[in-house]
Structure 1
């Protein structure tokens, strides 16, 4: 989980004299959310290291980007502030809005899983005051959940993932003029991802994966990170946990069976890793969905 102290957009808002943080939560897999109210302010975001999706909940009709004073916000308007971008905002009057903060690693996983593209060749397109009724409804559902209650927080994580998936599918595009250097060939990357998915129940090692690509472990690790956006062990863990979540939501298998099917050595190992990622046990996750 990314600490709020490392989220630049969150910290810029927190420093605003008239802004009030109503609620915030660290969700699973590099996602965090916050609800803010603000009035009569000006905020500048300078090249954050994370992506931010925002949805105006109420008011905001006097809010605009400094470079576009005639384009004003409104309830249910969506904004996308990609990592590395700069934006300058003026708030005239009042506004209440929700933020969803997304790590680069989570965006990378979405590019691989949903688009079958290398994360480094993709970018989240900046957008201001987008109309997307479905996405706005997801945001309203998200902020309506009781984030302090463990079961509700788990469901909020799943809803946040749905918001991110929608953004990746609808707002991610190819970087213009990019010439990729290094990394795995697209066909090798695709075959490797398919191999990993088919063998998540097995103790995959760095050496085994490197051998499949005819590379030394050192060069394989570097090229894997270039192509997948995160190190091999983090990618493997993310995919194993994602499969476990699907099995917990949709199946009745015992936890030990799920653990082994997802490549964890034991139920306790599975539970420890799951708790580190989701701040809840697998049993609590299953109970939240059944509830």
Structure 2
């Protein structure tokens, strides 16, 4: 996740003359936490790029959403604010609250790991002043930890992940009206192409590529084939061979070095694959290139 200062909800509170940041830290794995106090304020959140989980630790009985003035906060009340949501808040009196910020990519990866579901099918439900004693207790535990202490980092991270898993099991529903086309989103296709091109000299595992897209291996392989017209292993082999062909035609590198630079275990393995793809041995192609 981007640094806290680029987080829209964090920015909004930081810009308030009445809100005070008591603590804030990046927790790793695209997670961040903040502890706030505020009083007699009004805040608007317009389409943040991240999910925010919020827990009132003290006060908040005069806090409400402008569009829902009849519902008021209280200690241990929780709010789930999905990425892209819009909300306007009025804070009367004093409040102390904790936030856990979660990138959509981290949330999607957790959905795959916990539920083995296609993340695009799922929707994080927006909730205001939710009562969930387990999640509230996890928030209260979180704020007792030293987020900047390396010795507590694993405990802090584990607790944050447990909170995400709890929200996945209790606050996620099927996205309504969604028609999946089956392929990968354009930004994921670009990310995968760039990653594959940068790592053609290395072994590439299906799980490694699936993790980039925050998908299970099964869903990733199916969606990759739809997007690229080839299964992942055949696409990567095609890119290795085309890179090798370019090096044969436009460089003086020895065949063995070209094989290694394109991710083949040996020159003989490279030669066999190249001959199958192009109908000629690598040495013959190089010999036939214009001088």
TM interval, shorter chain, is 0.5 to 0.7
Task: Show structure 2 runs of 5+ residues with no match.
Answer: 185-202, 211-216, 233-291
Instruction: Give the Cα separation in 2 of the matches to 1:93 and 1:217.
Output: 55
Q: Secondary structure at the match of 1:180?
A: coil
Higher relative contact order (CA 8 A, sep 6+): 1
CA, structure 1 residues 146+177, in 2 after alignment: closer, same or farther (shift >3 Å)? Answer: same
Q: Secondary structure at the match of 1:134?
A: helix
CA, structure 1 residues 215+68, in 2 after alignment: closer, same or farther (shift >3 Å)? Answer: closer
CA, structure 1 residues 70+178, in 2 after alignment: closer, same or farther (shift >3 Å)? Answer: same
CA, structure 1 residues 130+153, in 2 after alignment: closer, same or farther (shift >3 Å)? Answer: same
CA apart distance, 1:6: 2.5
**1:243-254 equivalences in 2 (<5 Å):** none
CA, structure 1 residues 116+94, in 2 after alignment: closer, same or farther (shift >3 Å)? Answer: same
Aligned to 2:35: 35
Asked if 1:204 corresponds to 2:213, the answer is no
Instruction: Give the Cα separation in 2 of the matches to 1:207 and 1:147.
Output: 31
Instruction: Give the Cα separation in 2 of the matches to 1:27 and 1:177.
Output: 35
CA apart distance, 1:109: 1.0
**1:1-291 equivalences in 2 (<5 Å):** 1-183=1-183, 204=205, 219=228
Residue pair 2:182, 2:223 contacting (<8 A) in 1 also? no
Residue pair 1:207, 1:217 contacting (<8 A) in 2 also? no
Deviations 1:198-257 (A, max 9, x none): xxxx961689989x7696797279x99xxxxxxxxxxxxxxxxxxxxxxxxxxxxxxxxx
Residue pair 2:63, 2:89 contacting (<8 A) in 1 also? yes
CA apart distance, 1:135: 0.6
C-alpha RMSD over aligned residues: 2.9
Deviations 1:58-108 (A, max 9, x none): 000000000111110000000000001101100001100000000011110
CA, structure 1 residues 220+106, in 2 after alignment: closer, same or farther (shift >3 Å)? Answer: farther
CA apart distance, 1:165: 0.6
CA apart distance, 1:34: 0.1
Please list every run of at least 4 consecutive aligned residues from structure 1 whose deviation after the TM superposition is greater than 4 angstroms.
205-210, 212-218
Residue pair 1:2, 1:26 contacting (<8 A) in 2 also? no
Q: Secondary structure at the match of 2:84?
A: coil
Q: Secondary structure at the match of 1:27?
A: strand
CA apart distance, 1:125: 0.1
Residue pair 2:142, 2:159 contacting (<8 A) in 1 also? yes
Aligned residues: 206
The alignment's TM-score, normalised by the length of structure 2, stands at 0.65
Instruction: Give the Cα separation in 1 of the matches to 2:9 and 2:19.
Output: 13
Instruction: Give the Cα separation in 2 of the matches to 1:9 and 1:181.
Output: 32
Residue pair 2:182, 2:226 contacting (<8 A) in 1 also? no
Larger Cα Rg: Structure 1 or Structure 2? Answer: 2
CA apart distance, 1:153: 2.5
Residue pair 2:111, 2:119 contacting (<8 A) in 1 also? yes
CA apart distance, 1:148: 2.2
Deviations 1:100-144 (A, max 9, x none): 000011110122122222111111000000111111010000000
Task: Show structure 1 runs of 5+ residues with no match.
Answer: 185-201, 225-291
